[in-house]
Structure 1
Amino acid sequence: MGYTIQAMTSEHWEQVREIYLEGIKTGMATFETEAPSWYAWDQSHLRHCRLVAKDGETVLGWAALSPVSGRCVYAGVAEVSIYIGQRYRGRGIGTALLQALIKESEDKGIWTLQSGIFPENESSLALHSKCGFREVGRRERIGQLNGVWKDIILMERRSSVVGG
């Protein structure tokens, strides 16, 4: 399977949203229980560092960054979201997308990427580790999903290029 990685635009939203919904349905990807509108999603993510992996006109997966805080001291810290379509998992697309996201984030001056991952999401933990993230802690019972308290593993990647 050949694919390209390119900037995400609003034209990709319907396919991106479908992949996001697949992740939501697993119960292992996010505390969200429904996908937002394009407008809400667009407002909550950085304007840069939004990528899709595409084969022709088909979006296979996507990755994007959200700010962790509005305070200027955290301007170089962002949270990773990455989702791969169910049919396309296990083919290296996640690795390629996350590596491209890391490169673009460094080009944009981001010095720390972080991700909160449910402990049972072993494939996401492995993907982040493979791409240079390290576990920095476990946030116990940080939130509820469908009435069940959930932990997250907090992982981060500090750039060796940006931020000294």
Structure 2
Amino acid sequence: MEIVVRRLTKSDWRSVSRIYKEGISTGIATFETEVPSWQQWDTKYVSVCRFVALIKGKVVGFAVLSPASKRQVYKGVAEISVYVSNAFKGKHIGETLLKQLIDESETHGFWTLQASIFSENIASINLHLKCGFRVVGIREKIGKLYGKWYDNHFLERRSNKIDLC
């Protein structure tokens, strides 16, 4: 099974929004409860670091970055989001997307990538650890969804290609 990764475009939105909706329905992928419009989504994510994974021409996952802050001093810090269609989990798609996103982020000057992952989402935590992230801490009861409090593991990855001295 060949995984093809390419840049995400507006024409991918239908597939991306479907995969995002699947993530919402798990209850441990995001605190969002509804899929936003393309315009809202497009505004939120960094335009140069957006990818989709395809198998046999079908979009089966995506990875994007959102700025950690609008302040100029944090211009090289971004939060990562990786989603894989339920039907294609366990096939290294997330890993392929995450590695591509890491490489591309460094090309565009991002020195720190961070991820806030539901503590119950062990597969996502393990994926990030495998790709060079480290757990910085656990944010206890950071958000409440449908009446239940959730903890998030907070992870980060520092670039080893960008000089931080």
Please give the range of the TM-score, normalised by the shorter of the 2 chains: over 0.9
TM-score by length of 1: 0.98
Q: Name segments (4+ residues, structure 1) moved above 4 Å.
A: none
1:18 is paired with a residue of what secondary structure?
Answer: helix
2:144 is paired with a residue of what secondary structure?
Answer: strand
Deviations 1:98-120 (A, max 9, x none): 00000000000000000000111
Alignment: residue pair count: 164
1:16 is paired with a residue of what secondary structure?
Answer: helix
Q: State the 1:21 CA deviation.
A: 0.5
Q: In the aligned structure 1, how far is the partner of 2:28 from the partner of 2:109?
A: 30
Q: In the aligned structure 2, how far is the partner of 1:25 from the partner of 1:138?
A: 23
- 1:26 is matched by which residue type in structure 2? T
- 1:37 is matched by which residue type in structure 2? S
Q: Does 1:131 align with 2:127?
A: no
2:17 is paired with a residue of what secondary structure?
Answer: helix
**Aligned position for 2:102:** 102
- 1:3 is matched by which residue type in structure 2? I
**Aligned position for 2:70:** 70
Structure 2 unaligned residues grouped into runs of 5+: none
**Aligned position for 2:18:** 18
- 2:105 is matched by which residue type in structure 1? S
- 1:103 is matched by which residue type in structure 2? D
**Aligned position for 1:35:** 35
| RMSD across aligned positions (CA) | 0.8
Q: State the 1:147 CA deviation.
A: 1.6
TM-score by length of 2: 0.97
Q: In the aligned structure 2, how far is the partner of 1:12 from the partner of 1:103?
A: 22
**Aligned position for 1:84:** 84
Q: State the 1:55 CA deviation.
A: 2.0
**Aligned position for 1:47:** 47
Q: In the aligned structure 2, how far is the partner of 1:95 from the partner of 1:44?
A: 23
Q: In the aligned structure 2, how far is the partner of 1:31 from the partner of 1:163?
A: 34
Q: Does 1:3 align with 2:3?
A: yes
Q: State the 1:3 CA deviation.
A: 2.2
**Aligned position for 2:162:** 162
Q: State the 1:57 CA deviation.
A: 3.0
**Aligned position for 2:151:** 151
Q: State the 1:163 CA deviation.
A: 3.8
Q: In the aligned structure 1, how far is the partner of 2:28 from the partner of 2:54?
A: 24
Q: In the aligned structure 2, how far is the partner of 1:39 from the partner of 1:98?
A: 24
Q: State the 1:23 CA deviation.
A: 0.7
